[in-house]
């Protein structure tokens, strides 16, 4: 169990003390919106974190900003989230955006489609049952079943963090051949099929129009976003973290409201036309 916990500790968010202290002005980052792809994490990046996943909301003006950026980039704006496509659509309804969802398990390349690709099979029912039982450890642990993954949210029960990860480690030790991966996040422990990540989803997304050939800008906040931070140099892209100075990023924002303000300024800067 100790080795399992040590492995999880290594996946905690890392901070680069030498990372830039501020995000440069928009026109210094984005020479032309017509050559740019905008990729956005949702929770903790675009939207403020709330006590439960269902309580997040879209602030006034953000919908207009996202739709105008989608138009100005000829559609090359996408959400890159651990949430399912269905969840993303519920949050932004009636707007529909292109997306890499479920940590790369789902992808939507066209706003007219529910999903273009699903990379992950449903999680084994018995495994899911055992993992779901962990929610009984404490009141306040919320269970989210995405089909291909299962998330245990403990923002309302932060004292249960250690017990949750210890229980997951015991199950993994009992099923060493199960093709699963544990993703620690901000007050959430998610267990998903191995073999796909946000980074694999973004690599696939960038092979297709209208993203193909563009310079991506990715903004994320959590440990699950670090896989995307790492591949941005391969695509001549830029990465920005939120709330912390993550390893390898080009800059950071303090809060989601700063990200929203930055996106609005992209629209206001006529030099990006």
Catalytic residues: 41
Which pair of structure tokens corresponds to residue 8?
A: 């999880």
- For residue 19 the two structure tokens come to 């990372």
């Amino acid at each position: 169990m100790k080795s399992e916990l040590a492995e999880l500790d290594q996946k905690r968010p890392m901070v680069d003390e030498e990372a830039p202290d501020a995000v440069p002005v928009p026109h210094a980052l984005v020479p032309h919106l017509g050559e740019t792809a905008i990729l956005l994490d949702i929770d903790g990046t675009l939207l403020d974190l709330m006590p439960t996943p269902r309580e997040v909301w879209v602030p006034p003006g953000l919908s207009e900003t996202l739709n105008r950026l989608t138009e100005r980039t000829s559609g090359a704006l996408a959400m890159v989230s651990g949430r399912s496509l269905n969840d993303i659509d519920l949050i932004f309804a009636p707007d529909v955006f292109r997306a890499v969802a479920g940590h790369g398990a789902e992808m939507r390349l066209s706003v007219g489609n529910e999903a273009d690709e699903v990379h992950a099979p449903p999680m084994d029912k018995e495994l899911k049952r055992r993992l779901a039982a962990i929610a009984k450890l404490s009141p306040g642990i919320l269970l989210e079943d995405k089909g291909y993954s299962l998330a245990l949210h403990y923002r309302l029960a932060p004292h249960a963090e250690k017990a949750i990860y210890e229980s997951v480690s015991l199950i993994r030790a009992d099923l060493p051949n199960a093709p699963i991966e544990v993703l620690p996040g901000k007050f959430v422990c998610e267990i998903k099929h191995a073999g796909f990540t946000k980074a694999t989803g973004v690599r696939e997304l960038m092979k297709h129009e209208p993203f193909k050939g563009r310079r991506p800008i990715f903004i994320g906040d959590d440990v699950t976003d670090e896989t995307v931070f790492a591949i941005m140099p391969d695509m001549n892209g830029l990465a920005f973290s939120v709330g912390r100075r993550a390893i390898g990023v080009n800059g950071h924002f303090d809060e989601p409201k700063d990200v929203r303000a930055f996106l609005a300024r992209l629209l206001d800067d006529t030099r990006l036309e």
